[in-house]
């Protein structure tokens, strides 16, 4: 199913806690340039709504780089690795040098992503930006909050369960992207763009998950999230 035909704009909202403390540069806050499609009416609660957190559309020149976009990624309700995702935008978090490189301010975290249901797995469609030569570095995490007030941290380890969204066409790496495409900038460099599916198995499937936070450690690359689905 594709949602390209539905071009109603969603309101762009930003949790004030997610905005950089650098108030004088507020005009440089990363926000979508192109409209983000309205959530498909066939969506369900298992496909988590990220409307409040998108800071790039799939058609934006991401990171202020002309032609550097995800426009070749299929939009709307799409199935990757037998998992259905709601694909409409990007939640990009900051990295160590992200503001210096892009002249844009990215949030350090996306807090209070509503789940409000039980789950035995969570599937994250994700990647990272601003590649470095530092495998096994902890670059971020998801924090899962349960109804019983307990919480679990899911670490994002660079080149272990999250990789850069640019890849070399002749790469011999063990990474296994769930989707590969291209844009103007990668074609000029004989590279490709890609996304990865990371699945977390919940050790407490009988406990209701209330929400989760998506957090950058500001430790090299900045993680980004395109979609997440509960199973």
67: left (phi over 0), alpha (psi -120 to 50) or beta: left
Q: What is the pLDDT of residue 10?
A: 34
Q: Mean pLDDT of residues grouped by 10 in the chain (231 residues)? A: 35 37 52 86 94 95 91 97 96 95 94 98 97 85 97 96 88 78 93 96 98 97 98 97
Q: What is the pLDDT of residue 137?
A: 93
CB-based contact 99:107 (threshold 8 Å): no
**What is the C-alpha to C-alpha distance for residues 196 and 109, in angstroms, rounded to an integer?**
20
């Amino acid at each position: 199913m594709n949602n390209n035909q539905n071009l109603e704009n969603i309101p762009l909202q930003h949790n004030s806690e997610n905005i950089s403390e650098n108030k004088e540069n507020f005009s440089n806050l990363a926000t979508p340039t192109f409209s983000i499609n309205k959530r498909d009416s066939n969506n369900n609660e298992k496909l988590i709504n990220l409307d409040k957190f998108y800071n790039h559309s799939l058609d934006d020149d991401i990171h202020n780089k002309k032609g550097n976009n995800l426009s070749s990624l299929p939009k709307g309700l799409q199935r990757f690795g037998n998992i259905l995702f709601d694909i409409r935008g990007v939640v990009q978090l900051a990295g160590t040098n992200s503001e210096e490189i892009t002249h844009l301010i990215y949030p350090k975290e996306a807090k209070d992503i509503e789940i409000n249901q039980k789950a035995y797995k969570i599937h994250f469609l994700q990647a990272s930006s601003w590649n470095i030569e530092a495998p096994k570095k902890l670059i971020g995490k998801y924090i899962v909050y349960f109804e019983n007030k307990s919480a679990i941290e899911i670490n994002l380890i660079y080149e272990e369960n999250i990789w850069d969204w640019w890849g070399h066409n002749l790469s011999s790496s063990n990474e296994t992207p769930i989707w590969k495409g291209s844009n103007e900038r990668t074609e000029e460099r004989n590279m490709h763009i890609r996304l990865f599916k990371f699945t977390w198995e919940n050790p407490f499937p009988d406990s209701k998950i209330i929400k989760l936070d998506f957090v950058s450690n500001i430790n090299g690359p900045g993680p980004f999230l395109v979609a997440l689905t509960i199973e």
